[in-house]
Amino acid sequence: MASRAVVLEQTGQHAVAASRRNIGLDVLRATAISMVFLAHGVGLEGKPFVGEFGTGVDLFFVLSGFLIGRIYFRSSRKDAATHFSLLGFWRARWWRTLPPYLVALAVYAAVRATVAPQQAPLDWHYLFFLQNYFGVPAFGPSWSLCVEEHFYLLLPLLAYAVERTLGREAFRWTLPVAFFVPLALRILTLSATGALPPFWFWMSHLHCEGMVEGLWLAYLFVERRQQFDRLKPVALALLPLIPLLLIVLPVWKRSPQVNVFVFTLLAVGYAAWLRVLYDLRWTPAGALGRFAYKAIQGLALCAYSIYLTHTTFDQPIRMALGEHMARGAARTGLILAATLGIGVVFYFLVERTSIQTRDRMLGHGR
């Protein structure tokens, strides 16, 4: 009976945790990983509307800024239950992200050594999240993880400096100003040199406005909830911005002068999605509705693992199929299903284990 009580208690805890998940944020996570997954797995570049599905990364940036921002602003309040610890903040973040990332690097190296020698080798800078500046010949999606890790490192340091020198209220205007810093740097670089660096969109200082926009929303959510609520009509008006960009960008031969503004517009558009969908309330009715609800939650839960693994296994699976299966929708569907399944397995074997270990060692989930 005692063991059964433990099982019931754990089940109850999982149910409570599941009920606390915001379905709107899960919809955004599932949308972001689906966009990136399809962009990489199907080769959509240049195709109308779907050609810019790779911008799902920018949606991830807004989400990450919002989620990590809520953690920071809540834990650093003067009335917080525990005293804010800079090292504790980093420890909780890196324990969440680094173990799966390092395992994914090891998996990539193993796949390359055994079945995919044509894939580029990993360099030392992958261990320090510097590949978005030194080049990304291998493990392509990792450039965006560099942007996020740099953000996790600098956020508490810069935020502490702002609070000590200007006060916590200063975030009301410093974050909107900071939002335009990457755009200003792109314009200055273009003006000074006549061109942006190759693969400039990988570089953290030139492509982080989505993170800052999410951070600003997090500040309003924690410190100025009424202002956060008042943003909803504006966000509703901005909802068409992303569909419009997805339609126009794949077919528009853009000049460098126009390109510098694209990521700013994407950050604004995806932030509008976040603000609107945060208030989503969905009680699924019927078997189909419940299935869709669980599928969205599951995809959102496994998003990081899918992102870490999908490009590593795409080419080896294609090579394994070889001439055994003709090219077409069925073959593409099988490849997508296999890479998706590997990501889900990676979540249960690696990512979830890492999260559980962190929570057990730290005494709580962060």
What CA–CA distances, in Å, run from 349 to 100, 238, 249, 365? 10, 40, 39, 19
Q: For residues 336 and 332, what is the distance between their CA atoms, to the nearest angstrom?
A: 6
Which of 174, 272, 161, 266 has the alpha carbon at shortest distance from 223? 174
Query: For residue 224, which amino acid is it?
Result: R
Q: For residues 178 and 90, what is the distance between their CA atoms, to the nearest angstrom?
A: 22
Q: Identify the pLDDT of residue 259.
A: 86
Q: Identify the pLDDT of residue 78.
A: 80
Q: For residues 212 and 65, what is the distance between their CA atoms, to the nearest angstrom?
A: 6
Q: Identify the pLDDT of residue 8.
A: 32
Q: For residues 167 and 290, what is the distance between their CA atoms, to the nearest angstrom?
A: 46
| Rounded-to-5 percentages of helix, strand, coil across the chain | 80, 0, 20
Does the pTM surpass 0.85? The reply is yes
Which of 38, 152, 57 has the alpha carbon at shortest distance from 98? 152
Question: DSSP string of 17-71?
Answer: HHHHS-HHHHHHHHHHHHHHHHIIIII-TTSTTGGGGGGHHHHHHHHHHHHHHHH
Q: For residues 120 and 135, what is the distance between their CA atoms, to the nearest angstrom?
A: 12
Q: For residues 309 and 311, what is the distance between their CA atoms, to the nearest angstrom?
A: 6
Token pair, residue 125, equals 């800078």
Q: Identify the pLDDT of residue 46.
A: 58
Could you tell me if 306 and 343 are in contact, meaning their C-beta atoms sit under 8 angstroms apart? yes
Cβ atoms < 10 Å from Cβ of 43: 11
Per-residue pLDDT of the chain (366 residues; tens, 9 = 90+): 433 333 333 333 343 344 478 999 999 999 999 999 999 888 656 566 677 899 999 999 999 999 999 999 999 988 776 778 999 999 999 999 999 999 999 999 999 999 999 999 999 999 999 999 999 999 999 999 999 999 999 999 999 999 999 999 999 999 999 999 999 999 999 999 988 999 999 999 999 999 999 999 999 999 999 999 999 999 999 999 999 999 998 877 777 778 899 999 999 999 999 999 999 999 999 999 999 999 999 999 999 999 999 999 998 998 888 767 777 788 889 999 999 999 999 999 999 999 999 999 887 544
Q: Which helix (H) or strand (E) holds 72?
A: helix 56-75
What CA–CA distances, in Å, run from 217 to 175, 214, 229, 281? 10, 5, 10, 19
Contacts of 253 (CB under 8 A, 6+ apart): none
Q: Identify the pLDDT of residue 9.
A: 33
